[in-house]
Structure 1
Amino acid sequence: MPSAETTPVRVAEPETVRPTREDEIAAAGSELIGGPVGRRALLGTSWWTPVRVIALVAIGMFALGLVQKAPCYNGAWFFGASSQYTHACYSDIPHLYQGRGFADGLVPYFDKLPGDMDYLEYPVLTGVFMEVAAWLTPGSGGIQQQEQWYWFVNAAMLMICAAVIAVCVARTHRRRPWDGLLVALAPAFALTATINWDLLAVALTAAAMLMWSRSRPVAFGVLLGLATAAKLYPVFLLGPLLVLCWRAGKWRAFFQATGGAVAAWLVVNLPVMLFAFPGWSKFYTFSHDRSVDFGSFWLIWAQNSSNPPSIDFVNTTASALVVLSFVGIAALAFFAPRRPRFAQLAFLMVAAFILTNKVYSPQYVLWLVPLAVLARPKWRDFLVWQACEVAYFLGIWMYLAYTTSGDAHKGLPTNGYHWAIALHLLGTLYLCAVVVRDILMPERDVVRRAGDDDPSGGVLDGAPDVFVLGGAAQDRRAAEPAEALRLEWGVQGEPTP
C-alpha cells in the first residue's frame, strides 16, 4: 500500500459556472424556461451541451435578423431611398454588388471601377469573401434579382461566421461556456450582422482568442493576421498582449504570436501589393482621406461648429488619442494590483479605437460583442450597453430617413441624432469603466470571483509576474504564496487581491 507521501493528490475537476446561480438577471430570465438549475439536476448527460445550445440560439437570432431585413429585401433597397431607413433594414451588400463591379465580373483590386470609387475600398480578405459570394450568385434574371441573391448568399456565409463566433466565445473560458449565450442573444448583434462584412474579421478574431486561451500562440497569430487582412481593428490586440507578456515574462509566446500574425497577413496581402498596388492601397488611402462621418463625437463637433475641424487635424488627433489610450492601458496593466485578464485589455483597446475614430458605422458594435462578453460576463452591464447600441442603431436610420426624405416631420432631426450618438458613446464608456474597476478591484471581477485567474490568457493564466511597477510590486509579493497555494490545490474561492 503506497504511503501518504507518495500517493498523488487528485485535484477535483473544476465545476462549470452556472449563470443562473451567480447572476441575478440570468436567474430572473431563466424563469421563461423553468427557472435556475437545481442542486440535483443531472448535468452533462444530454446531447444538448452548452456549446450546441449556444450555436443553435445564435443561428436562430441571426435568422430573426434576416426577417427584420425582409421589407428591404422585397423592395426598399431598390425603390425609394428613405424607405430602407424608415424600416431600419439598410445593408451595404446589395448596393455594392453592382456599385463595386461584381455584377460585371470585374476583379477586385485589379480592375478599375467606373465612377469616383476607382477601386474596392475594403481589405484584401474581405474582398475575397465578397468575390466568392459573387461567384455563388446566380447570374440569371435582372440586376435587382441578382442583388437579392447576392445578399442572400452573403447572409448564408455570414451566418456561419456568427455561429463560429458564438462557439468560440463559449469555449474560450472553459468553466464558463454559458457566457457565449450573451453573444448569441445580443440584439445589436442580430440587427447589424448583415449590414456589411465585419463578421468575417470578428469570427477570425474570436477563433484567435480561443487559440490563445489554449496556449497555442502561433495559431493565435495566424488567425489574428487573417483577421487583420479582413479588417484593421484586430491588430490592436497585439498591444495588450505585449504589456501582459512583458509583465509575465512570456516573450517567446508573444513573438510567436506576432510572427504568425505578420506571416499570415503577408501571405494574403503580398500578392495583391506586388501586382495591383493602387487597388491594394485603396483601403488605406480611403480611410485616411475619409471625412468625419456618422456616429462619432467628431460629427457632433463638426455639425455644431462654425469652424469644423479639418480632416488633417482629425486624423492626427484621432491617431494621437489611440496612442494615448494604449499608453494608459499599458500603465493600467503594469500598475494594477493583479495582472489584468487578456480579454479585459483587448476590450479596452478596441473600445478606445471605436470611441476616438472619426466614423462609427452601426455594425462596428460587432467588433466589441465577443470581447465585451469575455471581459465582463455580467448580464446587467451587457444589456445596458446593448440597449444603448440598439438606440443608436434606430437613431442613425431615422436620421438618414430625415435627411433623404425631404420631409421635416419624417425621421430624426440632427439634434436628436446627436443624442443617439451620445448614448452610444456613454454606453461604451460605461462598460469600459466597469472593466477598469474590475482590473483595479479584482474582487469585483465575476470571472476571478468564481476562482479563475485568466481563462482566456493561455500561457498567462496563473503565471507569476516578473515585471510590475509602483505599489503593484508589494501587492504581488504579498499575494504570491496564497495564490500559488490556490493554483496548486485547485481551491476555488475569493481571489487574492
Structure 2
Amino acid sequence: MSTDSPPEPDRPATSDGFVRGLSEAIGGPLGGHAARPRSGKFWTAARIVLALCCLTLALHWVQKSPCQTGDWQQNIQYTRFCYTDVLALYYAEGLSDGDVPYRDHPVEYPVVTGYFMGALGLPVHALGERFPDINQGQWFYNANAVVLCALAVATAAVILALRRRRPWDAAIFAVSPILFITATVNWDFLAIGLAAFGLLAWARRRPVAAGVLLGLGGAAKLWPLFVLGPLLVLALRSGRLRAWAYAVVGAVAAWVVANAPVFLLYRDSWNRFFELNTTRPIDWGTFWYIGRYVDGKWNSGAAGDRGPFQWLSDHIPTLNTLTYAIFLLCCVGIAALCLLAPRRPRLAQVAFLVVAAFLLFSKVWSQQYVLWLLPLIVLARPRWGAILAWTVAEFGYFTAFYAELLGAGGKSVVPEGTFVLASTLRLITVAVLCGLVIREIWRPELDVVRQSYADDPDGGVLDDAPDADWVGRLRAKFWPADAAGGTAGMEPVPESSATT
C-alpha cells in the first residue's frame, strides 16, 4: 500500500459538487473554524454508514413483506413491487418437495447458488414436515433474507475498508434505492459478497485468497471471474504478472473444486445452467429488445420485411455469437485504454467498465443484475450526482418493468413504447457512467479517489508500482510528447481542480 502521508478524511459536502449544493439548504459545508467531533465518540462515519445500510435493508424486508406468505393473488407481487425469485423458486425448483438440488432437480443456477438453496431449503422442508402449520415458503425467504442482507452489510464494510480515508463513499451504497428494491430479489449477493472480499484480499496483497474468493463467486454467478481480466491488463502494465498468476490458480482451483461434485455425479443437471443461457431468447429491457422494438416500428408498413434485430431474435445461436464478439471487442478496447492511459487506471475503474460492457450488450438483463454495478461504481467513481441520476433511471425501469409484467398477464398498464423508453434511459445512464469513468482514466487529475490516495487503494501489489519499460515505448508511438507522463506516482490534485 502507499506510504504517502494521509490527508484529511474526505468530506462530501466540500469535495462533491452535488452534495455541496444540497448542503446549502442547511447552511452549507462545515466551516474551517467549526468544532470537530471528538475522536473517541461512538458514532464514527463507518458506524453511521453500516447503520444506514442496516436500515435500508430493514426497509427492504418490510417492502417485500406483502409477498412473504406466497399468497400472490391479483398480481400483488407486481402491484406492490415485492416479487422475489427466492420465494417463487422454493416451489419451482422442487425444494418444497424435499428435492436435493442437481440430484433430484436440475437447478438453473451455478453450483454455489444451488448449494446455498439446498442448504437452507432442505432444513426448512424438514421443519415443515415436522410442523405442518408453518409456512415453508415464508421461512425459506426469511432465512435467505438474513444471509443475503448480512452479505450486503459485509459488502458495505468492505467498501469502508477499501476507502478508510473516504468513508462516506460507502454511504452511496448503503442508502441506495437500488439496494432497497432488489437486495433479495435473487441470490446475487452471494456472488457480490464473495467478489467484494476477493477485491479486499487483493488489496491486502493476498492474491491466492483473492483468486479463491473470485473463483467461488464465479461458481455462484459467473461475473466475478471477469475481474481476472482487468487484473491481467493492469499486471501487464506494471510487470506484476506473478501475483496475477497466483490469483488465477486460486480462482481456477476454487471453481473446479466447487463444480466437481455436480459435474461428476449429475452432469445433465450441471449442464442445465449453460443450456438455459445458450437457448434463452432476448430478455426484456436489453439492448436487443429495444432494437427489436425499433425494427418492428420501422418495418411495420412493409409486408414481410424484417429488420436485423428481429432476425436475430429468431436465430439465437447467431445472437449468442454476436453478443460474445461485441463483449470481446469492448474488452479489447478497455485493455487498450488501460495500456495507453497517462497513468495506470485503478482496478475498480476497469472492473466496472468490463462488467458494465457485459450487461450493456448481453441478451439477458434480469432486474437484480443492477446490484453487480452498484459497489463497483462506488469504488470506481464515488460521485453522488451521476449515480443518483442512474438510480432514478433504474427506478423508472423497475416501475415500467412491473407494469410490463402486469401487461403480460392480460392487464395492459403502460404502452410498450413507455417500457422501451424506460429501458433505453437505463442503458443510456449506464453508458454515461462508463463514459465518465473513461474520462477520469484518461484525465486522472479528475479522479476524486486519487485526491485522497496517491495511487490505487484497491491495487494491492499494483499500488505505487511503476510502469514496465515497454509501456512507455508503446505510448511513445501514439503520443511522443506525452509518453513521459505514464508513471505511477502523482501528487493528489487540489480539490478545486476536480469536476463534479
TM-score, structure 1 normalization: 0.89
Which amino acid in 2 is paired with 1:441? R
CA contact (8 A) 2:341 2:486 kept: no
For the residue of structure 2 that corresponds to 1:103, the secondary structure is helix
Matched-pair identity in %: 43
CA contact (8 A) 2:165 2:452 kept: no
Tell me the equivalent position of 2:121. 134
- 1:205 deviates by 0.8
Instruction: Give the Cα separation in 1 of the matches to 2:343 and 2:202.
Output: 20
Tell me the equivalent position of 1:428. 430
Tell me the equivalent position of 2:418. 416
Instruction: Give the Cα separation in 2 of the matches to 1:49 and 1:472.
Output: 46
Tell me the equivalent position of 2:335. 330
Tell me the equivalent position of 1:103. 96
Q: Does 1:358 align with 2:347?
A: no
Which amino acid in 2 is paired with 1:79? Q
- Residue 450 and residue 100 in structure 1: after superposition, are their counterparts in 2 closer, same or farther (change >3 A)? same
Moved more, 245-254 or 209-218: 209-218
1:121 to 101, 105, 108: 108
Instruction: Give the Cα separation in 2 of the matches to 1:78 and 1:143.
Output: 19
Tell me the equivalent position of 2:301. none
Tell me the equivalent position of 1:460. 462
Instruction: Give the Cα separation in 1 of the matches to 2:117 and 2:25.
Output: 40
- Residue 12 and residue 328 in structure 1: after superposition, are their counterparts in 2 closer, same or farther (change >3 A)? closer
Alignment of 1:395-406 (within 5 A): 395-404=400-409, 406=410
Alignment of 1:57-206 (within 5 A): 57-73=52-68, 77-80=71-74, 82-112=75-105, 119-137=106-124, 138-139=127-128, 145-206=135-196
Deviations 1:253-303 (A, max 9, x none): 110111111111112111211111111121111111111112212122334
Tell me the equivalent position of 2:411. 407
Moved more, 16-25 or 458-467: 16-25
CA contact (8 A) 1:337 1:472 kept: no
Deviations 1:109-139 (A, max 9, x none): 1114xxxxxx111111011111122144241
Which amino acid in 1 is paired with 2:53? A
- 1:430 deviates by 0.8
- 1:403 deviates by 1.8
For the residue of structure 2 that corresponds to 1:139, the secondary structure is helix
CA contact (8 A) 2:7 2:452 kept: no
- 1:458 deviates by 1.3
Instruction: Give the Cα separation in 1 of the matches to 2:286 and 2:365.
Output: 6
Instruction: Give the Cα separation in 1 of the matches to 2:142 and 2:209.
Output: 31
Instruction: Give the Cα separation in 2 of the matches to 1:260 and 1:460.
Output: 18
Instruction: Give the Cα separation in 2 of the matches to 1:33 and 1:106.
Output: 57
Q: Does 1:282 align with 2:272?
A: yes
- Residue 302 and residue 493 in structure 1: after superposition, are their counterparts in 2 closer, same or farther (change >3 A)? closer
Instruction: Give the Cα separation in 2 of the matches to 1:142 and 1:136.
Output: 14
Instruction: Give the Cα separation in 2 of the matches to 1:356 and 1:154.
Output: 30
Which amino acid in 2 is paired with 1:437? R
Unaligned runs of 5+ in 1: 1-9, 113-118
Deviations 1:296-330 (A, max 9, x none): 12122334434431111210100001100110000
- 1:454 deviates by 1.1
Instruction: Give the Cα separation in 2 of the matches to 1:323 and 1:74.
Output: 44
Tell me the equivalent position of 1:7. none
- Residue 438 and residue 139 in structure 1: after superposition, are their counterparts in 2 closer, same or farther (change >3 A)? same
- 1:412 deviates by 2.0
Unaligned runs of 5+ in 2: 297-305
For the residue of structure 1 that corresponds to 2:382, the secondary structure is coil
Moved more, 335-344 or 348-357: 335-344
Which amino acid in 2 is paired with 1:278? D
For the residue of structure 1 that corresponds to 2:96, the secondary structure is coil
Instruction: Give the Cα separation in 2 of the matches to 1:207 and 1:27.
Output: 32
For the residue of structure 2 that corresponds to 1:120, the secondary structure is coil
Which amino acid in 2 is paired with 1:123? P
Tell me the equivalent position of 1:438. 440
For the residue of structure 2 that corresponds to 1:377, the secondary structure is coil
- 1:449 deviates by 3.4
Instruction: Give the Cα separation in 1 of the matches to 2:38 and 2:345.
Output: 32
Which amino acid in 1 is paired with 2:102? Y
Tell me the equivalent position of 1:217. 207
Q: Does 1:55 align with 2:50?
A: yes
2:311 to 286, 298, 308: 308
CA contact (8 A) 2:170 2:378 kept: yes
- Residue 286 and residue 142 in structure 1: after superposition, are their counterparts in 2 closer, same or farther (change >3 A)? farther
- 1:196 deviates by 0.6
- 1:390 deviates by 0.9
Q: Does 1:477 align with 2:490?
A: no
Tell me the equivalent position of 2:286. 296
Which amino acid in 1 is paired with 2:337? L
CA contact (8 A) 1:402 1:413 kept: no
For the residue of structure 2 that corresponds to 1:371, the secondary structure is helix
Tell me the equivalent position of 2:300. none
For the residue of structure 1 that corresponds to 2:68, the secondary structure is helix
- 1:443 deviates by 1.4
TM-score, structure 2 normalization: 0.88
Moved more, 445-454 or 146-155: 445-454
CA contact (8 A) 1:329 1:345 kept: yes
CA contact (8 A) 2:190 2:217 kept: yes
Which amino acid in 2 is paired with 1:16? P
Which amino acid in 1 is paired with 2:411? D
Q: How large is the Cα RMSD of the aligned pairs?
A: 2.4
For the residue of structure 2 that corresponds to 1:230, the secondary structure is coil
- 1:31 deviates by 7.3
- Residue 335 and residue 440 in structure 1: after superposition, are their counterparts in 2 closer, same or farther (change >3 A)? same
- Residue 136 and residue 63 in structure 1: after superposition, are their counterparts in 2 closer, same or farther (change >3 A)? farther
CA contact (8 A) 1:338 1:476 kept: no
- 1:479 deviates by 6.1
Instruction: Give the Cα separation in 2 of the matches to 1:256 and 1:472.
Output: 34
Instruction: Give the Cα separation in 1 of the matches to 2:288 and 2:133.
Output: 37
CA contact (8 A) 1:465 1:476 kept: no
- Residue 390 and residue 52 in structure 1: after superposition, are their counterparts in 2 closer, same or farther (change >3 A)? same
